[in-house]
Amino acid sequence: MECGSPAAAFLFDRCRGAKKVKPIRTIIIGGGFAAVKFAKTLRSKLRHSDCEIVLFNRENHMVFHPLLADVAGASLNVDSAAAPLRQMLPGVGCRTERVQRINLDTSEIAYEDENGSLAHLHFDHVVVACGADSNLAIIPGMTEHAFAFKVMRDAIDLRQHIVRQMEKAEATADPVRRRHYLSFIIVGAGFSGVEVGGEINELVRSSTRFYHNFHKEDVKVTLVHSQDQVLPEVAPTLREFARKKMEKAGITILLNARAVSATQEGVQLKDGRVLDGATIVCTIGTTTSPLVQNLEVPKEKGRIRTTPDMRIEGQTNAWALGDCALIINDYDKKPALTTGQLAEREGRQAALNLVRILNGEPTKPFRFKNLGQLCSIGGYNAVAEMFGMHFSGFIAWFLWRSVYLFKLPTWSRRIKVSLDWAWDLVFPRDLGFLSTDEAQQLTHAYFRPGDFVHHQGDPARLFSIVEEGEVEILQSREPNAEPKLVAVLGKGDFFGEGALLGNHPHETSIRARTVVRLGQIGSELFSQITGSFTPMRELLTKAITRQGSDIWRRLPLAKSLLEDLPLASLLDPPPQLLHKDNTVADAVRALNEGSSGELIIVDENQHFWGTFDRDELYRVIARMAVSSTVASDLPIQQKLGDLVSPSRVYITLDDSTLVAAATMLDHGTSWIPVVRSKSDLQPVGTLRGDKISYRLVQKLDRNSQPPQTQQASAAT
């Protein structure tokens, strides 16, 4: 085995020598299983005078992940699964700061200090143990609508949300909404998915006796799993036991089912099924932290590759441990699993290896035989594999609790958790929640084409800004009448302000025309912003009066004339089409050759991608001039697709002239592209505002003439 570097050994000898020199500094990044075990072991082996240990973690506590599901299910108090690092690690300098960069050449880390400025600290050894982050972006809509399940905040927010859904179910008179509030979808049936599914089921079903408006039969907990068995990590007999027990407890398990999107109404599966549910928990999808992503060292699937003694490949004084590292286990010669059990062992063995290096001894490879797996499945049941033996049911559950109680980092936590669990055996789970008022929040929402954001007549709750895609504004003249499309809004547009400022229900419905992402501000936060910032209020008031859909409501005659005016009769042929890979120079030439000063940009399928006109060209040139160092260096060979963020709003041949006019007014444009249909975005022409106005004036003129004159003009 490789020996410790002589330089390090020399350094250590100097530390221990007669002349007092500074102790070596070991910086640990992370405060999870691996980091804490490393720090504890190193502190127990080296004196303060020999080694200064500084541990940087984003939070001031260590999260004991196996108990997160109990926190979400209210069988544990929120602070029981989090242990304060400085109380756990006496003799270690604990810093609650985020490390931004590691410079392995200069042996320095850069971190965000308490004022948010960048500070630097030198190290003799650095340990990267910053785990993995949740990555909900792997499924569209999950970031906006699902709960991740990784940090304390996730468990606390989820618990609050579950209790809130029960309160909503109690309050509503609508049985469909009641079932919606009581439907919970968990994506992923690995350890965390099964544990949190079991806990949610237990919490909600056991709490129904405190509510009058719903019963156990109204509760639906669904586990969605892409494989053909739950808990792929345990033996087949235990998986089967877990599945049967959970189904008996009322949990629906959908196997071979892949979630493809999420909205505020639920989850869509790959086979087209849509699962209704007001709560989505996404337990799949992880990514390495930005710190690891920016570290230029050998990696595999995002994890840092290490030598057998857990030093980063190619480094002598940098180590990587836990979920962020790819360590080959000498026991089976396979990459070590990303579990807390393995992370802890890695932490201990890496610390011992560092001590060996400092003593000038050879290091040892990481070698560990997995002791087993434990997973709680709810209802005082668990499955366990320990030392080659299998346990299931209550015995496994008892084992699960005993093992994790014993593994908790401090005695105070152990006592706290055992008291919570004892309490939970006797008393009902706590249904109190701190109000996290939706009206005070800034959130994001995802909608599939055809989904409604709100309906006409709904109370105003949110101010929304379109971040991506397009929405349609629909309006019914009479209650129960078929709603008609009155305008289209695109990226950067907003809606909901009229109803919020006027304190009345929505006068239109909003429906997603494409995939749509919205930024949404709750009603109270919106009132605070508009109340305290007069310019913002004035801007929104102006926007309301500008809105096309609103203007036509106040001009009923013009509105009905426009509705009856066939769009096809006003259509101009499409201007020159440019591809988004065409350059700015191509666009300049095309604008120069054409007479309209407008271009339509298409994608590789010849589908509408955006518009480009002279105004946009001037904006692009101005931007280029600002970013170019020399004026003559304007990068005119840049692709339009990379440079332009064009207006993506269009109308279809099926839309009415009223929709076209309202949409142009909303966007302050004098023309709008027309495509064949919503499903076929091939450009078929353009509509011009002046042409519509001219035909409108003609019609209004005719309408205002006395009947005889109208007949005469009809005869001519």
Residues forming the site for ligand FAD (CB under 6 A): 29-35, 56-59, 65-66, 68, 98-99, 129-131, 149-150, 191-192, 289, 291, 322-323, 338-341, 343
Taking the complex as a whole, the smallest distance from the CB of residue 242 to ligand FAD amounts, in Å, to: 14
How far is Cα of residue 651 from the mean position of the Cα atoms in its chain?
Answer: 31
Task: Output 339 or 647, the one with its CB closest to ligand FAD.
Answer: 339
The backbone torsions φ and ψ at residue 503, rounded to the nearest 5 degrees and listed phi first, read 55, 45
Question: What totals of helices (H) and strands (E) does the chain contain, helices first?
Answer: 24, 42
Task: Output 192 or 207, the one with its CB closest to ligand FAD.
Answer: 192
What does the angle CA 687 – CA 693 – CA 697 come to, to the nearest 5 degrees? Answer: 145
Picking from 567, 566, 588, the residue whose alpha carbon sits closest to that of residue 576 is 588
Taking the complex as a whole, the smallest distance from the CB of residue 404 to ligand FAD amounts, in Å, to: 8
Q: How far is CA 240 from CA 379, 484, 605, 707, in A?
A: 16, 53, 48, 83
Give the relative orientation of helices 534-546 and 523-532 as an angle to the nearest 10 degrees. 110
Task: Output 383 or 662, the one with its CB closest to ligand FAD.
Answer: 383
Question: CB atoms < 10 A from the CB of 239, how many?
Answer: 20
Q: How far is CA 303 from CA 307, 327, 337, 379, 711, in A?
A: 13, 9, 12, 36, 82
Taking the complex as a whole, the smallest distance from the CB of residue 145 to ligand FAD amounts, in Å, to: 19
Task: Output 102 or 692, the one with its CB closest to ligand FAD.
Answer: 102
- Residue 181 in contact with residue 168, Cβ under 8 Å? yes
Taking the complex as a whole, the smallest distance from the CB of residue 81 to ligand FAD amounts, in Å, to: 10
Taking the complex as a whole, the smallest distance from the CB of residue 98 to ligand FAD amounts, in Å, to: 4
**All residues at 6 or more sequence positions from 229 whose CB lies less than 8 Å from its CB, including other chains:** 236, 239, 240, 243, 255
**Parallel/antiparallel/unpaired status of strands 598-602 and 577-579:** parallel
Taking the complex as a whole, the smallest distance from the CB of residue 405 to ligand FAD amounts, in Å, to: 13
Task: Output 128 or 169, the one with its CB closest to ligand FAD.
Answer: 128
Q: How far apart are the first and last CA of the chain?
A: 105
Taking the complex as a whole, the smallest distance from the CB of residue 135 to ligand FAD amounts, in Å, to: 12
Task: Output 96 or 456, the one with its CB closest to ligand FAD.
Answer: 96
Taking the complex as a whole, the smallest distance from the CB of residue 252 to ligand FAD amounts, in Å, to: 21
Task: Output 294 or 441, the one with its CB closest to ligand FAD.
Answer: 294
Of all helices (H) and strands (E), which one includes residue 219? none
Task: Output 322 or 469, the one with its CB closest to ligand FAD.
Answer: 322
Residue with tokens 């756990």: 88
Taking the complex as a whole, the smallest distance from the CB of residue 161 to ligand FAD amounts, in Å, to: 16
Task: Output 129 or 518, the one with its CB closest to ligand FAD.
Answer: 129
Distance, CA of 564 to CA of 582 (rounded, Å):
39
Distance, CA of 388 to CA of 394 (rounded, Å):
19
Taking the complex as a whole, the smallest distance from the CB of residue 246 to ligand FAD amounts, in Å, to: 17
| Four-residue CA torsion sign, 193, 194, 196, 201 | positive
Task: Copy the structure tokens of residue 63.
Answer: 């999260």
Task: Copy the structure tokens of residue 506.
Answer: 């929505």
Task: Output 370 or 669, the one with its CB closest to ligand FAD.
Answer: 370
Q: What is the DSSP letter of 272?
A: S
Task: Copy the structure tokens of residue 120.
Answer: 């630097």
Distance, CA of 98 to CA of 95 (rounded, Å):
9
